[in-house]
Amino acid sequence: MRKKVILITGAAGEIGQALIRVLSEAPNHELLTLDLNPLPAELNGLSTHIQGDILDTNLFARLVTEYDFDTIFHLAALLSTRAEFAPELAHRVNVDGTLNLLRVAAEQSQRRGQSVKFIFPSSIAVYGMPDLEIKMRDNQVREWEWNYPTTMYGCNKLYCELLGTYFSRHYQQLATNRPVMVDFRSVRFPGLISAFTVPTGGTSDYGPEMLHAAAKGEPYACFVREDTIIPFMAMPDAVTALLRLAEAPREQLSRLVYNVTSFSLTAAEFKERVIAAFPDAQITFKPDVQRQGIVDSWPAGLNDQAARRDWGWEPAYDVDRAFEEYLVPNIAQRYGRSV
Ligand code: AKB
C-alpha cells in the first residue's frame, strides 16, 4: 500500500519553508519534501525530506512506487535574476522540471483513479509592461493583460501556466486509455517578503534585502531607483493564498491562474518604512541597469478581483500590519535588535 502524501518541491526555498511550518501543524497530512539542499535544522522531523533533483526521472520512478501524491506544491524554480545569468539552466529547471512533475501527476491520477492537485506559484514576472507611462496608467493589471514577459523566468512561468492548463484540460494518455485527472491551479505572486528567510536570485529582493540589512546594522545599496514601484506581499499571506486555492471547490474556480496581491510600494516608501523601524539604517540607491529594466517591466499593481470573488482571497496583512506586526518585530528579534 503506497503512502498518501503531500509533495512539496523546492521545499528548502522561502515559500517552501513557510509552507512546511503551516502544513505540518495540520492533522492527517504526511509531507514529502524535495530539494537540492537539505532543510534547515529547525524543520527536521516535520517532513520526510529527499535531497534530490526535480530533473531526476529515476528518482521519481522510485518515489511513485512508495508514495501516492495527493497534492503537489511545485515550488522549485530558479528566480528571475539568477535565470538571466543561466537562461538554459533556468529553462531546464523551470520548464523541464515542471513538465516532469506534471507527467508524474498525470500518472499518479491514473493509478489512484482520483485527481491530483497541482499547485503552482507563478509570478508578476509573466507581465511585461512596455514602458513606465503605461505601467503607471495600467496599474491594476488583470490576468490576461500584458502577458509579454521580458525575462527567461517570466517566459518559463507563463509557459508552465499554459502547460498546467493543458494537462488539466486536454492531456490524454492515449496508450493507457485511463482518464488523467490533474487539477492544476496557479497564483501569480507579487514580490514576497519573509521575516525569517532572505531570498536569493530574485529581482524583487531589494525590498527584503533592505529590511534584513537594516536590522543587521549593515549598509545597503538598493539596486533600483527610488520611484520604482511593484506589488508586495508578506509571506504568511502567500502561504494562505496557496492553501486557500488548493482547498477551493473546483466548481467555484472560473480560471486556473489567479492574480493575488497585497500592497504596492515604491522603493523610496519601502526605505521610509525601514528607517521608521531602524532609524540607523544606511540605505542608498545604486540602480543596476539590467535589474532595473526587469522591475520596470513588472506591473505597479495587480487586479486580484477574480481570486477574491471565486475563492475568498483576502490578504491578512496590509502594508501597515505587514511592517508593524509581522516584518519588523520578527526581523528585529532574529538579529537581536530592540524596536
Ligand atoms: C523574483 O524576483 O524573481 C521573484 C518573483 C517576483 O517572482 N521574487
Helix intervals (H) in 123-277? 132-137, 152-169, 206-216, 235-247, 267-277
Check whether 179 has a pLDDT greater than 90. Answer: no
Tell me, using a 6 A CB cutoff, whether residue 281 lines ligand 1.
no
Mean pLDDT of 269-277: 98
Does ligand 1 come within 6 angstroms of the Cβ of 122? no
Taking the alpha carbons at both ends of the chain, their separation in whole angstroms is: 53
Nearest CA to ligand 1 atom 6: 191
Instruction: Assign domain 3-131+140-189+235-259 to its CATH superfamily.
Output: NAD(P)-binding Rossmann-like Domain (3.40.50.720)
User: Does 191 contact ligand 1 (Cβ within 6 A)?
Assistant: yes
Rounded to two decimals, the pTM is 0.96
Q: How confident is the model at residue 173 (pLDDT cuts 50, 70, 90)?
A: low
Per domain, the residue ranges of the chain are 3-131+140-189+235-259, 191-234+262-301+316-334
Ligand 1 geometric centre to CA of 325 (Å):
23
Strand 283-285 to 220-222 pairing = parallel
C-beta of 80 in contact with ligand 1 (< 6 A): yes
Tell me which CATH code domain 191-234+262-301+316-334 carries. 3.90.25.10
Instruction: Quote the pLDDT of residue 175.
Output: 63
Classify burial at 329, counting beta carbons within 10 Å of its beta carbon; exposed 0-12, middle 13-18, buried 19 or more.
Answer: middle
Q: What is the pLDDT of residues 8-63, one digit of tens each?
A: 999 999 999 999 999 999 888 899 999 999 999 999 999 999 999 999 999 999 99
Query: What pLDDT is recorded for position 1?
Result: 84
pLDDT digits (tens, 9 = 90+) for 279-307: 999 999 999 999 999 999 999 999 999 99
